[in-house]
């Protein structure tokens, strides 16, 4: 992926691939979009994909696989135990990260489950740059706590800091001194910090954090699910690595961490996941859990065809044209949004463009889920499915009160090699219309609220009739029939 300069002076993304297969999509009229979001309980997760025009909910399992990945699937060894497919994937991963052992799992959150069961003790604390929803849930289910020590700049929506996902070193040292190493289950670094806008972590920061942890005798865990984007930012924003091969960067990261895990739905553009370590004691303990919760040690809940595709996808992650595709498209969408006055997280990160719902819907109380309301409004106005990343995605406090999110974001994920520049411009145009009519958007309230991961399956209703008013205004402005 590259950007090219036109004679007009404009720089635009230039795809370094060509489409060989297409999938038909449709754009429902606004009245049908309104009906569908109501049926889904104003939760974009509960929309049927047949009713969605552009699906920007997530990049998890939605990236396009390459021709070589599809070809590799035909050589899969479909054995329950001892499959050659496993050994091919293991070889790629061991070579990539320099770890001795690989344990497969059906996806990233399954890895989190096994790691939490192995390392988290009741009342212990897992320290991390920032939490992810499933990570936090697995830790708290084991009786542990989460403490976030991201730098203060990482929590600013608008910034010029190139590595907003970095751990705050002073906060790390203070937490270790306050808690004591025996009360810390592990220190986790998440590449491309998901919930604060896909923001990367620098190699310099990883070196410093792991050095402190090794000196203190504390284990380090690295979530590599969004490593591909993070590798691009290390190469493009960290001067020391401008001319260093991607595999050498990856191996250095591997050498620093005690445990590495990933979702192949993101890293590798396939399905599945896995855990890597060279620590014999941890490997032995985690190995016992894989057959119990996932599957035998040489498939771990993964399809062997997906394992073959993952092996090839991981090798392709070493190609700058591949790993740059999402970040450059994210930057293009963020630039389009900003040009139209829409507030977004800056600098543009990986994963997707993140709209600042707190600024966009500053008239909506945070306990009425402004990011969730904006995601619903976007679907009404465009048929585009985004994801709420705010208070609705948090867990309630033990006393039942809301855990107010530090950021209220709507994420527009850009799966790799899926969307075109015209579709990017469409999204920006519809968001600009929403911004002009933002005061029409109202809040939401739960009608069915699960205790865990409520953002996945919970149902809400609009407070008042703002969705109908918004749809009517859209019809008047664009001429779509109600």
Instruction: Indicate the range of 35-44, 54-63, 175-184, 464-473 predicted with least confidence.
Output: 54-63
Helix, strand, coil abundance in the chain, percent, nearest 5: 45, 15, 40
Cα separation, 374 vs 360, in Å, equals: 8
Please compute, for residue 448, the number of CA atoms within 13 A of its CA located in the half-sphere on the CB side.
Answer: 9
Supply the DSSP symbol for 236: H
Mean pLDDT rounded to a whole number for the chain: 95
pLDDT tens string 369-409: 999 999 999 999 999 999 999 999 998 998 999 999 999 99
Cα separation, 111 vs 109, in Å, equals: 5
pLDDT over 70 (residue 1):
no
pLDDT over 80 (residue 482):
no
Cα separation, 135 vs 184, in Å, equals: 16
Whole-prediction pTM value?
A: 0.92
Cα 297 to chain center, whole Å?
Answer: 27
Q: Which residues are catalytic?
A: 80, 132-133, 223, 266, 389, 455
- Can you give the pLDDT at residue 219? 98
Element (H, E) at 353: strand 352-356
Paired with 410 in beta bridges are 355, 388
Cα separation, 126 vs 119, in Å, equals: 9
Q: How many other C-beta atoms can be found within 10 angstroms of the C-beta atom of residue 151?
A: 19
Asked, as a colleague might, if the bond just before 66 is cis with ω within 30 of 0, I would say no
Cα separation, 363 vs 359, in Å, equals: 9
Cα separation, 288 vs 122, in Å, equals: 21
Cα separation, 369 vs 462, in Å, equals: 10
- Can you give the pLDDT at residue 126? 98
State the Cα torsion 152-160-331-368 to the nearest 10°: 40
CB 245 within 8 A of CB 317: no
Paired with 459 in beta bridges are 448
pLDDT tens string 129-162: 999 989 999 999 999 999 999 999 999 999 999 9
CB 42 within 8 A of CB 247: no
């Amino acid at each position: 992926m590259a950007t090219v300069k036109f004679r007009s002076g404009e720089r635009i993304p230039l795809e370094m691939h060509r489409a060989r297969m297409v999938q038909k999509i449709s754009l429902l009229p606004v009245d049908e979009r309104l009906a569908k979001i109501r049926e889904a309980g104003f939760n974009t997760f509960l929309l049927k994909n047949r009713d969605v025009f552009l699906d920007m909910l997530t990049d998890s399992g939605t990236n396009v696989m390459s021709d070589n990945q599809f070809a590799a699937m035909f050589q899969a060894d479909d054995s329950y135990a001892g499959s050659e497919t496993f050994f091919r994937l293991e070889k790629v991963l061991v070579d990539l990260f320099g770890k001795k052992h690989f344990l497969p799992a059906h996806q990233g959150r399954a890895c989190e489950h096994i790691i939490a069961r192995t390392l988290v003790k009741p009342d212990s604390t897992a320290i991390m740059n920032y939490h992810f929803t499933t990570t936090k849930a697995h830790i708290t289910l084991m009786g542990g706590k989460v403490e976030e020590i991201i730098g203060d700049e990482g929590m600013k929506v608008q910034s010029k800091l190139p590595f907003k996902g970095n751990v705050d070193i002073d906060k790390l040292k203070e937490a270790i001194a306050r808690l004591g190493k025996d009360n810390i289950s592990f220190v986790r670094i998440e590449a491309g910090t998901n919930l604060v806008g896909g923001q990367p972590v620098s190699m310099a920061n990883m070196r410093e954090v792991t050095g402190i942890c090794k000196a203190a005798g504390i284990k380090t865990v690295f979530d590599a699910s969004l490593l591909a984007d993070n590798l691009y930012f290390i190469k493009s924003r960290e001067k020391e690595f401008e001319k260093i091969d991607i595999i050498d960067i990856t191996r250095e990261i591997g050498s620093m961490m005690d445990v590495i895990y990933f979702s192949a739905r993101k890293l590798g553009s396939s399905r599945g996941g896995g855990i890597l370590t060279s620590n014999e004691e941890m490997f032995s303990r985690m190995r016992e859990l894989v057959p119990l919760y996932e599957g035998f040690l040489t498939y771990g809940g993964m399809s062997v065809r997906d394992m073959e595709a993952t092996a090839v996808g991981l090798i392709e992650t070493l190609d700058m044209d591949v790993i740059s595709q999402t970040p450059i498209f994210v930057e293009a969408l963020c630039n389009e949004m900003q040009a139209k006055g829409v507030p977004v997280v800056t600098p543009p990160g990986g994963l997707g463009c993140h709209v600042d719902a707190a600024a966009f819907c500053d008239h909506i109380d945070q306990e009425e889920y402004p990011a969730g309301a904006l995601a619903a409004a976007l679907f009404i106005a465009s048929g585009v499915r985004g994801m709420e990343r705010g208070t609705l995605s948090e867990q309630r406090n033990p006393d039942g009160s809301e855990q107010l999110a530090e950021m209220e974001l709507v994420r527009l994920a850009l799966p790799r090699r899926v969307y075109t520049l015209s579709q990017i411009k469409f999204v920006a145009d519809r968001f600009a219309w929403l911004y002009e009519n933002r005061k029409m958007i109202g809040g939401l309230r739960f009608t069915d609220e699960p205790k865990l991961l409520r953002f996945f399956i919970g149902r809400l209703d609009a407070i008042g009739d703002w969705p109908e008013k918004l749809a009517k205004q859209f019809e008047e402005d664009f001429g779509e029939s109600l």
